[in-house]
């Protein structure tokens, strides 16, 4: 769950690079960016409503485009894939910054947990519930988020190797275990109807990692 960057399809057809500031004259382009973000949010809202009403497969991208009165190509240029209409979100940089800052100051697992508590937990309110619930209810969409967490796992592994004193295999395992904890916590948050604090669920999920170690050698 949650992503630090885009999947290969996004990368190929340059899209979803929100807040991409001009490389031409050097100045910012606030108006265009704002309109694009607004447009993306509107399209996403409509998409999620249609999806939850009629089901993911029953709604075509053309349906969504028509409902928002833009062309199909625009939807694809913005989101790249149908799944990304659901999974897209815009707070990735903050998570990355929190991660970097805390990895330098805390033990690695604590750092990851607290970065999520700091940067993503506050975002999970009722307005996000239908989106997140839909992700967890739709395997095809859930898989798309996992594809994104591919990149995230690699990033975390590298960060851990630098911050903590562990080899690559250990770093990979720790990163994977932490992402699993985050995933379970968000899953539970969604199951609770958004009524449980995500921060508390994250704390509990990470505590549960204490029981994930084997007790003896292989038999």
129 binds, among DNA, its own copies, none (CB under 5 to 8 A by kind): none
Report how far apart the first and last C-alpha atoms of the chain are (Å, whole number): 34
Q: In angstroms, rounded to a whole number, what is the distance separating the alpha carbons of residues 3 and 89?
A: 9
Which of 51, 76, 134, 206 binds DNA (CB under 7 A)? It is 76
The size of the interface with DNA (CB under 7 A), counted in residues, is 33
With respect to DNA, which residue has the nearer C-beta, 22 or 93?
22
User: What residues contact 107, with CB distance under 8 A and at least 6 apart?
Assistant: 164
Q: In angstroms, rounded to a whole number, what is the distance separating the alpha carbons of residues 51 and 132?
A: 13
Closest contact distance (angstroms) between CB of 168 and its own copies is: 8
73 in contact with DNA (CB under 7 A) = yes
The size of the interface with its own copies (CB under 8 A), counted in residues, is 56
Q: In angstroms, rounded to a whole number, what is the distance separating the alpha carbons of residues 103 and 163?
A: 6
115 binds, among DNA, its own copies, none (CB under 5 to 8 A by kind): none
Backbone angles phi, psi at 82, to 5 degrees: -65, -40
How many Cα atoms are found within 13 Å in the side-chain-facing hemisphere of 208?
15
With respect to DNA, which residue has the nearer C-beta, 12 or 137?
12
Which of 23, 31, 69, 210 binds its own copies (CB under 8 A)? It is 210
Radius of gyration of the chain, Cα coordinates, nearest whole angstrom: 19
162 binds, among its own copies, DNA, none (CB under 5 to 8 A by kind): none
Stretch that binds its own copies, among 44-52, 92-100, 124-132, 196-204 (CB under 8 A): 196-204
> Which residue stretches of 120-167 are H helix?
126-137, 139-163
80 in contact with DNA (CB under 7 A) = yes
Q: What is the 3-state secondary structure (H, E, C) of 173-219?
A: HHHHHHHHHHHHHHHHHHHCCCCCCHHHHHHHHHHHHHHCCCCCCCC
7 in contact with its own copies (CB under 8 A) = yes
Q: Interface with DNA by CB under 7 A: which residues?
A: 9, 12-13, 22-25, 27-32, 35-36, 39, 59-62, 69-74, 76-78, 80-83
| Residues forming the site for its own copies (CB under 8 A) | 7-8, 106-107, 109-110, 113-114, 117, 139-140, 142-144, 146-147, 150, 166, 168-170, 172-181, 183-185, 187-188, 199, 201-219
């Amino acid at each position: 769950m949650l992503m630090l960057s885009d999947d290969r399809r996004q990368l190929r057809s340059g899209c979803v690079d929100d807040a991409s500031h001009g490389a031409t004259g050097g100045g910012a382009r606030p108006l265009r960016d704002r309109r694009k973000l607004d447009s993306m949010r509107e399209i996403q809202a409509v998409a999620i409503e249609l999806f939850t009403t009629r089901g993911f497969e029953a709604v075509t991208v053309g349906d969504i485009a028509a409902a928002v009165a833009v062309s199909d190509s625009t939807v694809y240029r913005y989101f790249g894939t149908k799944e990304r209409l659901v999974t897209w979100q815009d707070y990735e940089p903050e998570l990355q910054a929190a991660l970097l800052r805390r990895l330098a100051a805390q033990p690695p697992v604590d750092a990851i947990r607290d970065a999520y508590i700091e940067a993503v937990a506050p975002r999970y309110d009722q307005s996000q519930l239908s989106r997140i619930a839909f992700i967890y209810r739709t395997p095809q969409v859930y898989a798309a988020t996992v594809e994104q967490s591919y990149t995230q796992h690699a990033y975390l592994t590298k960060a851990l190797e630098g911050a903590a004193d562990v080899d690559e295999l250990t770093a990979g395992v720790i990163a994977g275990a932490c992402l699993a904890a985050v995933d379970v916590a968000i899953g539970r948050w969604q199951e609770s109807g958004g009524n449980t604090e995500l921060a508390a669920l994250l704390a509990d999920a990470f505590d549960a990692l204490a029981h994930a170690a084997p007790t003896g050698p292989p038999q």
